[in-house]
A and B are shown apart, each in its own frame.
Chain A
Amino acid sequence: METRSIMIVGVGGQGTLLASRILGNVFMSQGYDVKVSEVHGMSQRGGSVVTYVKYGDKVYSPVVEKGEADVIISFEQLETERWLPYLKKGGKIVTSDQRLDPMPVITGAAQYPEDIINRISALGVDVTAVDALGLAEQAGSAKAANVVLMGVVSKKLPFEESVWQAALDKCVPQKFIELNKKAFELGRGTADE
């Protein structure tokens, strides 16, 4: 199979690394070659962060470049806009509708763009936006927004739910597994609405 590319974008501290680990485990369990590229260090401190997950028969480069992503999973609206040029024509976006003002907006040096999701939709892009934060709080913790998004994405990729459940078991500490399974179900449920 030709290599598929997924990007997980968000703000440092939002839990993008766990999301990439879950995806990596899902693809590996299905017998694919997998590469996951993370960013550690300075940009994790509230900066714009991106993680790449690629799978296929043989994956070479660990990074995803402009126009190459089959799916972009975004934790925040402005980040969805920022990384949009990385989407392949015909690719899909799954995004949280959360809005986090970056420092230039807080200080008044820039304005947060309005109506991002609708404007991207209007370009003909397949965008699914969910209240990941609200659903995560409903599951028991705002921190589980990453797993809510995994639930939404699970409906967009051709793998059985049990495969995702197994990856959750592997990646999430036992202490938080119930909370995260609930978050996953809530995310997965949004696709049926």
Chain B
Amino acid sequence: MPMKKLMLGNEAFARGLYESGCEFVSSYPGTPSTEVTEFAAKYDEIYAEWAPNEKVAMEAALGASIAGKRSFCGMKHVGLNVAADPLYTAGYTGVGGGMVICVADDPGLHSSQNEQDSRHHAIASKVLMLEPSDSLECKNYVKKAFELSERFDTPVIVRLSTRIAHSQSIVELEEREEYISQPYEKNAAKYVMMPAFAKKRHTVVEQRLKAAAEYAEECPLNTVEYNDTDIGIITAGNCYLYAKEALGDNASYLKLGMVNPLPVKLIKDFAAKCGRLYVIEELDDIIETHCLKHGINVQGKELFGFEGEISQAIVREKLLGIRPQTISLDEIAPARPPVMCAGCPHRGLFYCLQQLGVFVSGDIGCYTLGAAAPLSAMDTTICMGASVSALHGYNKALGREAEKKSVAVIGDSTFMHSGITGLVNIAYNATNSTVIILDNSITGMTGHQQNPTTGMNLKGDPAAAVDLEALCRAVGINSVRVVDPYKMAETKAVIAEELEKEEPSVIISRRPCALLKYVKHSAPLKVDEKKCVGCKQCLKIGCPAISMSGGKSVIDHTQCVGCGICKELCRPAAIG
């Protein structure tokens, strides 16, 4: 009997890479895609690495593919924007060995800055896209994706959503089949995309897309299930599961496993046999628009909208008019937004920034939580690296006085991802900007991944570490300082000094993430009740371990790691 295992969608995806004989993986972490690469790295047969960003990852994977191996790169939806440049031309060059790309969308924004729909990238780059609906399909679709990549000579994207990536379901494991490498042969007309060659490749792309659309009519991943035909549901991915749970055998289903290109005849045949037709898809109206374009009358977004996740409850409500019966206390429970952890090195730094009252150009990472109350010390957050480049524009626009009252904050991994180019711009085009690199020695928010500054690689081996101070000096920043954010008075003084300087500067706020296993914690602090005057000064840093009880502050010993930030704020010296 084959071995069965309960697997995360991402773990099953990695298993698919293993079983397909994939040998090369290069990715950048991003929720909800991260674990695909982490699980892939556990197989000795697969070389796996964290690249500095998604563009580098995709180019590395394409290089390995051209060299003849089966290759992979993974990223979240916004990561595909970064990698869009190689993607659109990789569609032209095609592949050597099969190349599969994972993109994980995040409907409902569980951990993202926007809610974009990656299917647009597949359509625009004219490559094939598959969309599984559970862990077993994750594994099997990856295997199919490699086959299609080689058959149609194109990278193939496998699209996940948070609910597929981070749900576990049962997977039957199969053996790895070694892939026989395609020997590299020089072929400039295929791989050198200068205008004369690219023009001819565009013809190939259009022919391929046409052939793939014909294939979509018979693709085994597009399945039809006839039950009661009064209601016909056209859907894909997790939305299939919601529809199936809500409607069961009271509807018929066309489940599209290949979402680009979409079939026409298959949908028309299904439509002809069903009464009312609904398209159920999260985010944009890709399938719906396709249907309407081909004269198939469906209802979709006018019922389900463009925002957030769909669920079985929404399908029940919209199609059957059934609302859930609920029990509740008749009050609104206080919200519990995410917060910086107790002992987080970012806390002290953000308290300093709040006290200085500066404009804070923010970025993507745990430190984005510096925007939340009570620290509320962030003005903008846009995308990876934007803190540095946007600060430059802000300062150019407003001039010297603004330069003295503004900083950018960016994590070590995000700085390597795309902050460095912004810093080059600051040095080259000269603003007296102050950039603070929050170096916590890890990629934090996505769950502790190594990066080029940490001295370790994805496989856990020692690696070259970028010297941040030397790097910043090398691009033309002469004033580079290092502070310890646990020492707030000193940190605040250094920031104030650098803001005054008539030159650009970088401050590296260096202290490892408090959740790292090797970080030794001090004993939890206690409040001396007799000395505490209940001034609530210690509550201003937003530490989850400190609360008030009976007019005095209390420190939760299960959470406190003894970082001492609160101690520095306590005027009656009641904390020790």
Contact = CB atoms under 8 A, between A and B. Distances in A.
Interface of A: 3, 11-13, 21, 24-25, 28, 33-48, 59-63, 65-68, 78-79, 81-82, 84-87, 89, 100-113, 116, 119-120, 123, 125, 133, 142
B334 A35 contact: no
B338 A42 contact: yes
Given A34-B6, A37-B166, A45-B339, 4 more contacts: A28-B4, A45-B366, A62-B134, A66-B313
Contacts of A82: 333, 336
A47 B338 contact: yes
* 7 closest residue pairs by CB, A with B: A41-B111, A67-B324, A41-B31, A47-B338, A65-B313, A110-B334, A102-B336
Given A37-B167, A67-B325, A103-B544, A24 B6 contact: yes
Nearest to B133: A60
B445 interface: yes
5 contacts: A42-B31, A46-B336, A47-B337, A47-B338, A68-B324
Interface stretch (B47-55, B137-145, B367-375, B467-475): B367-375
Most B CB contacts (10 A, CB to CB) among A34, A41, A48, A133 go to A41
Contact of B328 (A11, A28, A84): A84
B547 A106 contact: yes
A37 B163 contact: yes
B110 interface: yes
A106 B542 contact: yes
Nearest to A52: B167
A123 B331 CA distance: 14
Contacts of B204: none
A142 B35 CA distance: 28
Interface stretch (B194-202, B240-248, B277-285): B240-248
Given A34-B168, A44-B338, A89 B325 contact: yes
* Interface class of chain B by DSSP: loop
B169 A62 contact: yes
A103 B324 contact: no
Given A43-B110, A66-B324, A113 B546 contact: no
B446 interface: yes
B336 A36 contact: no
B327 interface: yes
A46 B335 CA distance: 12
A100 B558 CA distance: 11
A106 B543 CA distance: 9
B238 A62 contact: yes
A41 B364 CA distance: 12
A12 B311 CA distance: 23
Interface in B545-559: 546-548, 556, 558
B192 interface: no
A60 B241 contact: yes
Most B CB contacts (10 A, CB to CB) among A48, A101, A123 go to A101
Interface string B513-554: 000000000000000000000001001001010111000000
Interface string B24-48: 0000000110110000000000000
Nearest to B326: A85
A89 B327 contact: yes
B12 to A, nearest CB: 12
Contacts of A119: 329
